[in-house]
Chains A and B, each alone.
Chain A
Amino acid sequence: KAGVTQTPRYLIKTRGQQVTLSCSPISGHRSVSWYQQTPGQGLQFLFEYFSETQRNKGNFPGRFSGRQFSNSRSEMNVSTLELGDSALYLCASSLSGAMAFFGQGTRLTVV
């Protein structure tokens, strides 16, 4: 079956703009989590959605938001982009509590 799909793969934005990233989970997976990875840091948890509800949220400012649709696809939005938001953004889907399956990520560069 198809894996986790993230679009776009690469993105360049300027400071102050906003961006929306998309994640399509594995069919049947209702939990979708988002992570940020910056150089020298581990995967930092952003938020987790299950059945269109945000169940968990990490320690990120309110500029970072997300949502999940009825088909379990999820989007992540970052408003008023800052240079420090340049990172690899990964999403992962899972059956609740089970191992996570990751997409290939979106590489965001803010200039």
Chain B
Amino acid sequence: ILNVEQSPQSLHVQEGDSTNFTCSFPSSNFYALHWYRWETAKSPEALFVMTLNGDEKKKGRISATLNTKEGYSYLYIKGSQPEDSATYLCASLQGGSEKLVFGKGMKLTVNP
């Protein structure tokens, strides 16, 4: 059974704070790790697809790292803004499967 866990489940921060979230996944037969951002009343939007151990990706103030050997990924947001408020989802893809297994998400609220 493939379980993807995210922590914390929710986070309230002040504008300007930096935040980081953790996604853990089974490391066996790993193929890819996806991060998505889901704003209220919108569709989930892909942030990153990561495949290589030690990979680091960046998009503006958001970055992510990947450790496939120990089965975790970190998502960082530097200098959070109110528009960063959303649910952040990670999902794991195992080799030989097209089945994305999602964590329950981490709801971020950034207060102005």
Contacts and interface: CB of A to CB of B under 8 A. Distances in A.
B103 A97 contact: no
B31 A41 contact: no
B49 A45 contact: no
A99 B98 CA distance: 11
B102 interface: yes
B99 A56 contact: yes
A97 B34 contact: no
A105 B32 CA distance: 24
Interface string A64-79: 0000000000000000
Interface stretch (B11-19, B39-47, B59-67, B76-84): B39-47
B105 A42 contact: yes
Contacts, number: 60
Interface string A17-35: 0000000000000010101
Interface in B51-94: 89, 91, 93
Nearest to B43: A102
Nearest to B103: A42
A33 to B, nearest CB: 7
Contacts of A3: 43
A56 B97 contact: yes
Interface size class of A (residues with CB under 8 A): 20 to 34
Contacts of A99: 34, 46, 49
A81 interface: no
A104 interface: yes
A105 B44 CA distance: 10
Contacts of A43: 44, 89, 91, 102
Nearest to A40: B104
Contacts of A50: 98
B98 A101 contact: no
A48 B99 contact: yes
Given A43-B44, A104-B42, 10 more contacts: A3-B43, A40-B104, A42-B103, A43-B102, A45-B100, A45-B102, A96-B98, A99-B34, A99-B46, A103-B43
